[in-house]
Chain A
């Protein structure tokens, strides 16, 4: 280990970062870890698409809402369509959800909702909208898989690092065909498997 004079370094860094960050508290939530079969069953639509638009779309009882549009490349479950547009609650509002009120340090609920960028390709497991017309990927971050291109080879990875996708495989023999614990999955194998699960 190299020598270090921490007495000179630490105060400088502390003082400089204190000006930027405040301790940001957070709610904690328990989300069920879903396997691929559960993600598929719970979804109204599953599609491969390219994000064509993300825009603010008013609010719902104080929550910011965003409208997200995908151009569909391949519909894996649900009625075929060229585009899918859905309304989802906005992601964390770091400015509004934390702060002070009546001398009390307050914090808000962090919802772990997926974020979208125009142009990105993703596999989305979309839940059915509720009465207010809002929906989101099933299992929150678990239900959106980024499509990652490495030359001619594509892989998919969800917001949970693909963890748990094949746990409980004993309940469905199809899940046994892919037996990885986590990490990137081959796109073509993944899409093929989801289509089979959707057809069951």
Chain B
């Protein structure tokens, strides 16, 4: 069965009360869409332009009483669903996951699908088929991998001294306009009150100036340490093109290297931050 037929069946048999998925807008864009009935289900699509991580809506929507939320999820999105389960934000039996085989998504949603216009995360993706789902749809197809330009930049930054690194980030953070699109699209940024909204005292300056921008971007990165599941939605949403996934990706790599941990891979696993093991590596702590 294709996605639309699957979705119709799910709604008809109340396996989920509504389905968060993608549909084509009148402007030609593939965009988030909520199918509430069978007619809506017919509009559901999945293609290379289905960029959004829809798991972000799971913590922002009212849960249907006595029913489940259906969600169309690629591998990277399923990691977010798993992470939310691990972090006790949702329960596994509150969601019906329609896993989709994903053969890469675009960077520029108004461009053509090709090698140059493929997200970096697709280069090192290990979950083209989601690892957790209630039903799986779609076929995998081969696609040409993009250059991992981010890895090159990361190596370059690693070879910089402290002053050069500071300058690099200062130049980048200077562009930040504090629209908080990075926070709002992040499925793991679900705090009811974000630390930047705490004004008594004001921990983080709200100004989009050097100090306030540094504080915000670093706090955001730290709060996602070992928690980021690498959907790169923050960077895609950023209107100023800040390379912020450099930070979250690097921290994810460190969590892997130092603790053998990848967040959102197994919904029953304890989180890295929320668990303690006497054998944990600690020689890197200075």
Q: Is the pairing of A and B real?
A: no
